[in-house]
Structure 1
Amino acid sequence: MENLLTDRAFWVNYWEQKPDLSVNIPANYMFHEQLQKIIKTQQVQTAIELGGFPGYYAVFLKKYFDLDVTLLDYFVHPPITAKLLKENGLEEKDIQIIETDLFQYKPEKQYDLVLSFGLIEHFNDTADIINRHINFVKPGGTLFITLPNFKALNGWFQKRFDPDNYDKHNINCMDPKLLAGICEQAGLEVIQSRFFGYFSLWLHEEKQKPLMLRLFKKSLWLGGKILTKLFPFNSRQLSPYIILEAKKV
Structure 2
Amino acid sequence: MSGEPIKPNSATEVTSSKTGSLPDAQPSASEEIAAFVAKARAMSPHAAGARGRLLFALDATMSRQPTWDMACTLQADMFREAAALGSLDIRLVYYRGNNECRSTGWISDSAKLAKLMSKIDCRGGNTQIGKVLAEARREAAASAIRAVVFVGDAMEERVDELCSKAGELGLLKVPVFMFQEGHDAGAEQAFREIARLTGGAWCRFDPGAAAQLRELLRAAAAYAAGGREALLRLSKTASGAAKLIGQMK
TM-score range, shorter chain: 0.3 to 0.5
Question: Which structure carries more relative contact order (alpha carbon 8 Å, separation 6+)?
Answer: 2
Give the TM-score, by structure 1 length. Answer: 0.35
Q: Which has the higher strand share?
A: 1
Which structure dedicates a bigger proportion of its chain to helix?
2
Give the alignment's TM-score, normalised by structure 2: 0.35
Task: Name which one, 1 or 2, has greater alpha-carbon Rg.
Answer: 1
